[in-house]
Amino acid sequence: DAEITQSPRHKITETGRQVTLACHQTWNHNNMFWYRQDLGHGLRLIHYSYGVQDTNKGEVSDGYSVSRSNTEDLPLTLESAASSQTSVYFCASSELAGTSTDTQYFGPGTRLTVL
Amino acid sequence: AQSVTQLDSQVPVFEEAPVELRCNYSSSVSVYLFWYVQYPNQGLQLLLKYLSGSTLVKGINGFEAEFNKSQTSFHLRKPSVHISDTAEYFCAVTSGYSTLTFGKGTMLLVSP
């Protein structure tokens, strides 16, 4: 069955380190998204991509970067981790290129702790 | 700009009772509305969505929502809840050209 996976599921890192969170989908979806979930804030969009070589900033993109070299993967990099980036991170994908009206399918999440 | 307000952070309810989770939105253009559910330690999954047509939308697990343009609302309802409905529920809005904006979520707590 097609799916969307995230790795690692849990990670503890130190302030200042570079961290990369992986997201892989097997639906061949055009669109991929990264969100962070914090208590009291719901889900906030970090970065998104509407296709290979396309990346866009979301609401809370400072300190994060993404690259899209193929359809299946959208890794999220924290250039220099900060305690404020402690959060649960969700990756999502949707099929119809360039639109937000399509259903998004979410991965299981990565819990990141920055000490 | 668009925004979503979920007025209740938590809604406690007894099993088999009806429930309504409230969602209000603001947008200067036409909107498309969604409800997603997040069960404990899982990602979100779609419950239902309104894109056009009938303002009463039926979703999975017996949930339904009604789009009310005049009141800018999209409240989620279920006539009889089960313990297994305990989860966090997120309302979301998009204009179609913008990305999806989520509300802060409502935790539905169903007790026996």
B36-50 residue pLDDT tens: 999 998 999 999 999
pLDDT at residue B97 above 80?
Answer: no
State the pairing for strand pair A110-114/A10-13: parallel
Residues of A with CB under 8 A from a CB of B: 33, 35, 40-45, 48, 58, 90, 92, 99-101, 103-109
Convert the pLDDT of each residue in A80-109 to its tens digit.
999 999 999 999 999 987 778 889 999 999
Which candidate from A33, A42, A48 shows the least CB-CB separation from B104?
A42
First to last CA, chain B: 41
**CA of residue B5 relative to chain centroid, distance:** 11
Q: Cβ distance A74 to A49 under 8 Å?
A: yes
Q: Cβ distance B88 to B107 under 8 Å?
A: yes
Which candidate from A40, A100, A105 shows the least CB-CB separation from B98?
A100
First to last CA, chain A: 37
Q: Do B99 and A43 touch (CB under 8 A)?
A: no
Q: Which residues of B touch A58 (CB under 8 A)?
A: 99
Nearest chain A residue to B101, by CA: A44
The residue type at B98: S
Average pLDDT over residues B46-74: 94
* List of residues 6+ apart from B26 with CB closer than 8 A: B2, B3, B5, B72
Q: How far is CA B52 from CA A59, A101, A103, B62, in A?
A: 27, 11, 15, 20
Q: What is the pLDDT of residue B59?
A: 95
